[in-house]
Amino acid sequence: MKKFKFTINGNEYETEILNIEDNVAEIEINGSVYTVEVGKEIKTPKTPKLVRPKAVPSTDVHPSVAKTSSPSAPKGSGTIKSPLPGVILEVYVKEGDSVKRGDKVIMLEAMKMENNIEADKDGTIVSIHKTKGDAVMEGDILITIG
């Protein structure tokens, strides 16, 4: 694990910590192995845990569930977001096109797989924010439907 050199009363010692469990350490000093009890418990550093906020994509594999607006809400514009990071392979619609819920609008390559992104509501394409070849991150707005 770790090597140290000590000079005590003019004598040089080469030490290496071989193993540590709780407050017991196995130490090699000049070729001899000793088991040493440490007065204070040694805490090994923990790797920090990466915490990311949960991203909710606007699209769904089941076109019967609209994610843009609820059925009782007033109908307005909505957005289609990228469900995961990837690259746009194909855009199947253009601004002004009319789409129905479940229509294929974009093909996204993510993790070497092609994913069809479908419209999650009926409407007209108001704007297309990404084009073929663009790299997108999870949650990026791809298309606005009005």
Q: Name the CATH code of domain 78-145 (choices 3.30.70.270, 3.60.150.10, 2.40.50.100, 1.10.238.10).
A: 2.40.50.100
Half-sphere exposure of 121 (CA within 13 A, CB side): 24
* Token pair belonging to 88: 């746009």
CB atoms within 10 A of CB 76: 10
What is the rounded CA–CA span in Å between residue 87 and residue 68? 23
> Number of helices and strands (H, E) in the chain?
0, 12
pTM: 0.47
Q: Tens digits of per-residue pLDDT, 65-114?
A: 555 555 554 455 688 888 889 999 999 998 988 999 888 999 999 888 89
Comparing 68-82, 97-111, 116-130, 132-146, the range with the smallest average pLDDT is: 68-82
Q: Where residue 2 falls among pLDDT bands split at 50, 70, 90? A: confident
CA angle 106, 112, 116 (to 5 degrees): 20
Q: Structural domain boundaries of the chain? A: 2-37, 78-145
